[in-house]
Amino acid sequence: MAKHHVTATVNGDVVEFLCETRQSLLDVLRDELNLTGTKEGCGTGDCGACSVTIDGRLMCSCLVLGVEAEGKAIQTIEGMAAGKDLHPLQRQFLEHAALQCGICTPGILIAARSLLERNPDPTEDEVRYWLAGNLCRCTGYHKIVDAVLDAAREMRRP
Amino acid sequence: MSRASGRVTRHGSRVAGVRTPARVVFTGDFGDRYTGGVKEFAIEAKNLRGVIKALDALYPGLGEHLEKETTVAIDGEIHEVGYYQPVRPGCEIFFIPKIEGG
Amino acid sequence: MSTRLKPEEKKLKVVGTRPLRPDGVPKVTGIARYGADYSAPGMLWGRILRSPHAHARIRSIDTSKAQALPGVKAVMTSADLPEQKFEYVGPERVAVNFWHMTRNIMAREKVFYEGHAVAAVAAISKSTAEEALRLIEVDYEVLPHVIDVEEAMRPDAPLLFEDMITRGIDPAPDRPSNISKRLEFKIGDLDAGFAAADEIVEASLKTAPVHQGYLEPQACLARFDPDGQAEVWASSQGHFVIRALTAKLLGMEMGNLRVHPAEIGGGFGGKNVPYVEPVALALSRKTGHPVKIVMSREEVFKACGPAPGSSMTVRIGVRKDGKIVAADGVFKFQAGAFPGSPVMNACMCAFAPYDIPNVRSVGYDVVCNRPKTAAYRAPGSPVSAYAVESVVDMAAARIGMDPLQFRLQNIARPGTPTVWGPKHTHEGFTETIQALMKHPGYRAPLGRNQGRGVASGYWFNNGGESSAAVHVNEDGTVVVATGSADLSGTRASLAMMAAETLGIDYDKVRPIVADTASIGYGHLAAGSRTTFATGIAVVEACKKVIDNLRARAAMIWDVSAEDVIWEDGCARPAGGSKGRFEPLSLKAIAAKRGVTGGPIVAEVSVNAGGVAPGFATELCDVEVDPETGQVKVLRFVAAQDVGRAIHPSYVEGQIQGGAAQGIGWALNEEYIYDEAGRLTNAGFLDYRVPVASDLPRIETVLVEVPNPNHPFGVKGVGEANIVPSLAAVSNAVSHAIGRRMTELPMSPPKILKALSSER
């Protein structure tokens, strides 16, 4: 079965790749484009570790086929920092020790950024419900919530 | 035949100023498995190496099991089994199942 | 925010502060490499074929069609791994038996659980490998299965092993059973004890099996070269242990295997043992190519070791004045397919927090048709604590005493005997309970359908073997290398202890986790041992480096080493009368290393003892919806004696994480099997772990009663926090609905059932 040729934009750069029909966007990012920052925790859209944005929309990349990326703009964790400048969310996560093993962190950062793009001043409840699709087994979410709220505060400053 | 607890009297050299023996106890079923149910001993030694050697002399092969399968509590303080561990006269030594966590 | 309670102040510059972790930027930018993030040129993909049956004899395996598929480079079965001797070796508590272990890695005569590995393939792509699996023909003779621990113990239960005679019973039984072992610990006189009681409280309780729930499935890359040298990149909690076990399972010399520690995405005890490494290595050996295996989430649930389910009975005798006079517990644990549940830990920890003169713990290790259990955060202790702390709660209520006051009245102190013999030697239990009693949450009012539960819990913690190497770089920065996998920030704590000892800035220290060929042996990053034992090795190595630096300074100044002190990161002359010399920094001395003897390095190894146990006391407030049975956790406060918090943020994080796992264990998590013994919820949708919207803020109270056997007073913190959490939640729910809950998880259907029953 011949592979498909797909052209998309990843983190602002045009990329081309070949993929099988059955390969998910997650498989493509990790195995074809060597962008291993996006993680597989479950493969069935239940844990959020594979979160990316596609044309600005937060999605689980394990639930999207590689071929569906044709012509789309995809943002992964590797594109979150602006060159050598960390995003306020990344900095606050480090300050707050909002990561322990760190495997859920890329997905949560992508999800949190998506929240703050829509709602720059969320309540704690709004943060918790938005992040309900991102599992973390190490932290109990307490410091993650604090980090997101502080990043929101920082980003609201003129 | 299994004895719930047996006493083995002082094992060690008789010299002037003889040391008060340490009370050595096996916990769990270590005694049932290797010493026919005997769980308590009075052993004279300067360090744990001496204790293990004395027990091995009573039950050949026991020393190897003690080293590989147990952790030791000396007066309640937990240590890995090490030859160099000092043994105070009259102290209490428990060989307990080796600890592992998660 | 957390509260820290210190009985004494000490002037420390780095320890106790909250610097950024050195592996933080790679983790927030996606650069850090976990087990599945490694690749190699010419790499093949490995996939494992797993049994669809809970219990079956393997009549034959035909791999010919799979072998013939284009793109398949090798197919393996258990025939590609050497047979192992049947013998229980090493720590009896963990029951290592390589005859069992090799069969768990890949089945031989029988499959013992749905998901049991039967064969594996290596192919040029994931999809080719999966297609090859479908072409392997296995002829099974399906057998009846048994899963529940009480059912597995029945004399007519289907047997997993026809020759399993229960150990620990004298005389030995004359018939085989699924009971691998019986154990008993006892002190005092139970009959006399219960006879002296004014009230006797008893309950029978059950828990369902749960999974550690680490987000990162097991994964590795393995390469076995034609000259017999091999390398593995894998995430684990102990690459030295993985090396030893994998080499034995492959029948190769351990020294020919080098294991590189990938970053690890959660372990909690579940990654103390290998699963994919021996398979990937065997496939690599067969193909001459590197092989990568990544488990799916479904495979993780179906084949990787979970925590055992249990059936327990606890009886406590108490006097009207609040003194516990006797206690008796029976703990039956599911070991899964092969013996080795943590029932011994459960027996030992169950009553450990208390001073009870007459105590007995009896444990049963029972095999059944589900995956072999592995460690899960203070393995065994949270389960037995659930039973004991539930009955303690009932006893306190029976005599009308405040539950924390009741525990305080009976608390163990130095000199209190344990049920396994030695006396307690460390302080801290009393202070922890007192800290929780003082917390404002304990007096906060409760509303309708709300309830408050408290519980305490004990965990041994651990010492053991660790090595640390400290090198001074030419620019005066310092490398600290250890073999301790960093699950959650220990790299940072080790660097902090090094910086404090050397008297230099934290950001001059580079901590790394070195591979098996680059550092001396380090035991598992488990059992709450790293900051304690590896910390001791790091501090000792730094002290050796300091002696070395003083000797170098002495040479530079042409004085004797006794005339040189090390203070605030510099060599200084000892006392004014020894001559006036400018202080020499690490950088200055390093610049002169050549003429003073060469590179400045030290490596130290320890077999650390003097461990202080972990102890936590927790409070949980819940609200139960009487219509749906749903439980909302309103408040959770955890007080834990941490000895000294090296990096308070990571200590708080450990406590919060353990509490969260306990809440999930108590309310929602369980393995659900169908009538054929197949797992129906092998994914995160239906194996329901807590999500961000399920949990409140988890308040931590860090009690610091230092351990005198550690240079900074450290007590291990990782595990004790989960121990009381199951009972704290259960006691809270029980009080909220006015009925004693005796089964976990307390999912909504169970709560509704309890509500409809008599009080």
The CATH number covering residue C290 comes to: 3.90.1170.50
Ranges of residues in chain A whose predicted pLDDT is under 50? none
Query: Cβ C460–B78 below 8 Å, yes or no?
Result: yes
Residues 6 or more apart from A83 whose CB is under 8 A from it? none
Range of the domain at C535: 464-608
Residues A54 and A93 in one domain: no
Residues C590 and C630 in one domain: no
Residues A68 and A114 in one domain: no
Q: What is the pLDDT of residues C672-698, one digit of tens each?
A: 999 999 999 999 999 999 999 999 999
DSSP characters for C552-581?
Answer: HHHHHHTS-GGGEEEETTEEEESSGGG---
C262: in domain: yes
Q: What is the 3-state secondary structure (H, E, C) of C517-529?
A: CCCCCCCCCCCCC
Query: Cβ A138–C683 below 8 Å, yes or no?
Result: no
Closest C-alpha among C484, C529, C35, C514 to residue C264: C35
Residues C616 and C602 in one domain: no
Q: What is the pLDDT of residues C7-53, one digit of tens each?
A: 445 589 999 999 999 999 999 999 999 999 999 999 999 999 999 99
Q: Which of these three, C550, C584, C608, is where a domain ends?
A: C608
Confidence of residue B4 (pLDDT cuts 50, 70, 90): very low
Peptide bond into C745 cis (omega under 30): yes
C416: in domain: yes
Query: Cβ B80–C461 below 8 Å, yes or no?
Result: no
The CATH number of whichever domain residue A46 belongs to comes to 3.10.20.30
User: Chains B vs A: touching, with 3+ CB pairs under 8 Å?
Assistant: no
Q: Which of these three, A41, A56, A79, is where a domain ends?
A: A79
More confident residue, C484 or B1: C484
> What average pLDDT does this structure show over C107-119?
98
Residues C529 and C542 in one domain: yes
Whether pLDDT at C356 is above 80: yes
Residues C409 and C481 in one domain: no
Whether pLDDT at B102 is above 80: no
Q: Which of these three, C251, C271, C303, is where a domain ends?
A: C303
pLDDT of residue C601: 97
The CATH number of whichever domain residue C470 belongs to comes to 3.30.365.10
Residues C488 and C555 in one domain: yes
Q: What is the pLDDT of residues C53-67, one digit of tens each?
A: 999 999 999 999 999
Range of the domain at A147: 88-156
Could you say which residues from 110 to 129 on chain A have a Cβ atom under 8 Å away from some Cβ of chain C?
A: 125, 127-129
Tokens of C112: 């013992």
Query: Cβ A34–C685 below 8 Å, yes or no?
Result: no
Q: Which of these three, C250, C279, C303, is where a domain ends?
A: C303
Q: By CB neighbour count within 10 A (0-12 exposed, 13-18 middle, 19+ buried), where does C134 fall?
A: exposed
Give the type of residue at B84. Y
Residues C594 and C477 in one domain: yes
Residues A23 and A51 in one domain: yes
Residues A59 and A108 in one domain: no
| C420 to chain B, closest Cα gap in Å | 6
Closest C-alpha among C37, C33, C46 to residue C285: C46
> What average pLDDT does this structure show over C595-612?
96
Residues C342 and C440 in one domain: yes
Residues of C in contact with B25 (CB under 8 A): 421
Residues 6 or more apart from A157 whose CB is under 8 A from it? none
Confidence of residue C93 (pLDDT cuts 50, 70, 90): low
Q: What is the pLDDT of residues C706-732, one digit of tens each?
A: 999 999 999 999 999 999 999 999 999
Whether pLDDT at B3 is above 50: no
Q: What is the pLDDT of residues C517-571, one digit of tens each?
A: 999 999 999 989 999 999 999 999 999 999 999 999 999 999 999 999 999 999 9
What is the percentage of chain C residues whose pLDDT exceeds 70?
97
| C425 to chain B, closest Cα gap in Å | 5
3-class DSSP state of A114? helix
Residues C518 and C597 in one domain: yes
- Number of folded domains in chain A? 2
| C490 to chain A, closest Cα gap in Å | 10
Residues C91 and C128 in one domain: yes
Q: Which chains touch C (3 or more CB pairs under 8 A)?
A: A, B
**How large is the angle between the packed helices C381-398 and C648-667, nearest 10 degrees?**
80
User: Given the structure tokens 């995956």, which residue do they identify?
Assistant: C371
For chain C, the average pLDDT equals: 96
| Structural domain spans, chain B | 2-97
Give the type of residue at C75. V
C173: in domain: no
Tell me the backbone φ, ψ of residue C334, rounded to 5 degrees: -75, 125
In angstroms, the CA A50 to CA A73 distance is 16
C193: in domain: no
Looking at chain C, which residue has its C-alpha nearest residue A47?
Answer: C684
In angstroms, the CA C259 to CA B69 distance is 26
- Number of folded domains in chain C? 3
CATH class name, domain B2-97: alpha beta
Confidence of residue C2 (pLDDT cuts 50, 70, 90): low
A95-A100-A101 Cα angle (round to 5): 135
Of the residues B78, B88, B94, the best mutation for testing chain C's interface (the one with the most C CB atoms within 10 Å of its CB) is: B78
Could you say which residues from 81 to 100 on chain B have a Cβ atom under 8 Å away from some Cβ of chain C?
A: 82, 85, 92, 94, 96-100
Tokens of B40: 């308590």
Query: Cβ A46–C685 below 8 Å, yes or no?
Result: yes
Confidence of residue B18 (pLDDT cuts 50, 70, 90): low
Residues A94 and A66 in one domain: no
Confidence of residue B1 (pLDDT cuts 50, 70, 90): very low
Whether pLDDT at B17 is above 70: no
What is the percentage of chain C residues whose pLDDT exceeds 90?
95
3-class DSSP state of C362? strand
Residues C582 and C619 in one domain: no
For chain B, the average pLDDT equals: 82
Residues C410 and C396 in one domain: yes
Q: What sign does the dihedral C234-C239-C242-C243 (CA atoms) show? A: positive
Query: Cβ B69–C170 below 8 Å, yes or no?
Result: no
Residues A75 and A101 in one domain: no
| Cα pseudo-dihedral A104, A107, A108, A109, rounded to 10 | 120
Residues A18 and A54 in one domain: yes
Residues C234 and C322 in one domain: no
The CATH number of whichever domain residue A96 belongs to comes to 1.10.150.120
Whether pLDDT at C141 is above 80: yes
Residues A75 and A103 in one domain: no
